[in-house]
Chains A and B, each alone.
Chain A
Amino acid sequence: MASEPLIFELASPGRPGVRPPLPQFDAVDPAAVLPEGQIRGALDLPEVSEIDVMRHFVRLSQRNHSIDTAIYPLGSCTMKYNPKINEVTARLPGLLEPHPYQPESSVQGLLALIHDLEAVLAELAGFATVTTQPAAGSQGEMVGLFCIQAWLRSRGERRTTVLVPDSAHGTNPATATMTGMRVEPLGTGPDGNIDLAELDAKLDDDVAALMLTLPTTLGLFEQRILDVTRRVHAAGGQVYGDGANMNAMLGRVRPGDLGIDVMHLNLHKTFTTPHGGGGPGAGALGVQAHLAPFLPGPRFVKTDAGYALEPAGPDSIGRVHSHVGNVGNLIRAYTYIRSLGRDGMREVADDAVLHANYLRARLAPHFDIPYDRICMHEVVLAGTRQRRLGVRTTDIAKRLIDYGVHPPTVYFPLIVDEALMIEPTETESIESLDQFAEALINVADEAKAAPDLLHAAPTTAPVRRLDEVTANRSPDVNWTPAD
């Protein structure tokens, strides 16, 4: 497949894209009215016709893999189908067009929507209140840890250690470090659960929080979760829940009921706002009542006079986003929740878990599964059997591209050798799940019979294997004119 030129390389001087109407007024010479230093020369923009632009971007989109193309089983990313009705509601003029500084009385509908979204999320996850201000899961984590720090300060305590199981998302230790805390890792037992003896040994009066990914990145539910949260609380610490995997629990488990004090929800994963294109995300944060005074403001409130934005209180950690967060995504998430309703939420979790377990059962004869028990929304395989044939997980992933499916997450979690982390989500049909399983089984057979097919893959994609070292160390992302 020929490489697609940059749009600058498609340009031809003098070729217009759009012919604007002639001005209805007399032209003014800028030099006559503006100081010399404020007059701009020509901008170096590509001169292309509308059809050139259209074809260029359609060709690029055709080279992309998206959830609208085929299954996208990227573990821990919840790449579910995003219903198109979300795009309709997010474009309703009354929701699309308001200005952030418009009087509250003129945007009552939008304020009501976000207020109700926060209330529904709080109900779903079992928290006293939710803020939708954070713009990403990682920002939600940071706000959560700041709230824990502020709560500790309010009690005259200073604690600096955050316990993080080695089955947590990588953002958890990163967030703890970014907030100035010290990360202490916790090991995972052979059953895939936290090692309680190690937890007890590490729980001291410097532990501010345990950051728990639930279900874990092994796709497993922490079976002694109540013991874990009880012990952390007894030691004076808080439990932060990473809710990125909430899809497995919707309508079935409320993390707040398990003793989790604060947790973020990735609206761009669980609640079908678009992601995978680099954002924007939305990381709503739920907290128990004792942490509520520390949340960022303003807060959405309902008063006798209608809906309003209440400024942050004296204990708030302050604002973390301009205005009120990524509103477009909040509208999409609300639409999704209202489209499905309470029973629909439960079906999401049931089907997400069923699909992952269906794949686990189909793939078990062909791959090693180190922590092999009923899983939640995702299943983690190990390419260790294939490694003995001289084939690495990278090769398996690249070969899957030739079968027209997106590879799963690979080499994560770090505690599984040659990991293949598969999250099919609830939106795939059984035919789609079968197609994916058969592709993976074919690749496992090829690893035995014709391993060079895997080493050479991908062969049908727009690009072959990339030079990942150069891409990491010296990426060339600039374009400069030929002259």
Chain B
Amino acid sequence: MKFPSDARYSREHEWARFDGDDVIVGITPYAADELGDVVYVELPAVGLHVEVMDEFGTVESVKAVSPLYAPVAGDIIGVNEALDGAPELVNSSPMGDGWLIRVRPDDHATAVEDLLDAEAYDAFVDELLA
């Protein structure tokens, strides 16, 4: 699989992409495909502070309920309200309109440095699918 190079990726299949001072977070197209049709996304309250790997919500598909893990540390300053009525956005546009949360990172400079770049995540997923 090929993933956009303007984002970084976690081994838990979340992506993180800078948007000015903030980081936008969602699940990767691979994760969305593996989950199957998403029927509900449970998102956190705005204002919550998360550390890397903290569980910040769940995504429920017709197959299973899966936890969402924060790929970056910081304050959650926004959530994608559109998912409330249209969780299918996670399937149709996982790295666009199906984004999950907006985070103000604790440290902008190092926020995503431990995450995989697109090439490394490509290889990681290829290994999973091999």
The CA-CA distance from A258 to B70 in the complex, in Å, is 41
The interface residues of chain B lying within 8 Å CB-to-CB of A99 are none
When the two chains form the complex, which single residue of A388, A411, A414, A468 contacts B37, counting CB atoms closer than 8 Å? Answer: A468
**Neighbouring B residues of A388 by C-beta, 8 Å:** 129
Answer yes or no: A387 CB below 8 A from chain B CBs: yes
Beta-carbon contact of B62 and A468 below 8 Å: yes
Residue in contact with A473 in the complex, picked from B39, B63, B64, B129, CB distance below 8 Å = B39
Q: Chain B contacts of A473 at CB under 8 A?
A: 39-40, 87
Residue of B nearest to A470 (CB): B39
Please tell me if A303 contacts chain B, counting CB pairs below 8 Å.
Answer: no
Mostly, the A contact residues are helix
| Residues of the B chain whose Cβ atoms lie less than 8 Å from the Cβ of A387 | 129
- A411-B64 contact, Cβ under 8 Å, with A387-B129, A388-B129, A469-B88: yes
Interface residues on B, range: 10 to 19
Q: Cβ of B96 < 8 Å from any Cβ of A?
A: no
Most chain A CB inside 10 Å of its own CB: which residue of B40, B62, B87: B62
Q: Contact size class for A? A: under 10
Q: Are B129 and A394 in contact (CB under 8 A)?
A: no
- Whether the Cβ atoms of A411 and B63 lie closer than 8 Å is yes
Asked whether A472 lies within 8 Å of B129 as measured between CB atoms, the reply is no
Please, which residue of chain B has its CB at the minimum distance from the CB of A411? B63
Are A472 and B39 in contact, with the CB atoms below 8 A?
A: yes
Q: Is B4 an interface residue (CB 8 A)?
A: no
Within the complex, what minimum Cβ distance (angstroms) separates B109 from chain A? 34
Within 8 A of B (CB), among A462-481: 468-469, 472-473
| A469 near B129: Cβ-Cβ < 8 Å | no
Q: How far is the CA of A473 from the CA of B62 in the complex (A)?
A: 10
Taken together as a complex, chains A and B put the C-alpha atoms of A468 and B38 apart, in Å, by 10
A411 CA / B34 CA spacing, docked (Å): 10
Contacts of B40 in A (CB 8 A): 472-473
A278 to chain B, nearest CB (A): 20
Ordered by A's residue number, 22 sampled pairs between the chains whose C-beta atoms are within 8 Å are A387-B129, A388-B129, A394-B36, A411-B36, A411-B63, A411-B64, A414-B64, A468-B37, A468-B39, A468-B62, A469-B37, A469-B38, A469-B39, A469-B62, A469-B87, A469-B88, A472-B39, A472-B40, A472-B62, A473-B39, A473-B40, A473-B87
* Interface, chain B (partner A; CB < 8 A): 36-40, 62-64, 87-88, 129
> Which residues on A are within 8 Å of B, measured CB to CB?
387-388, 394, 411, 414, 468-469, 472-473
If A468-B37, A469-B39, A473-B87 are given as contacts, then 12 extra A-B residue pairs at C-beta distance below 8 Å, sorted by A number, are A387-B129, A394-B36, A411-B36, A411-B63, A414-B64, A468-B39, A468-B62, A469-B37, A469-B62, A469-B87, A469-B88, A472-B39
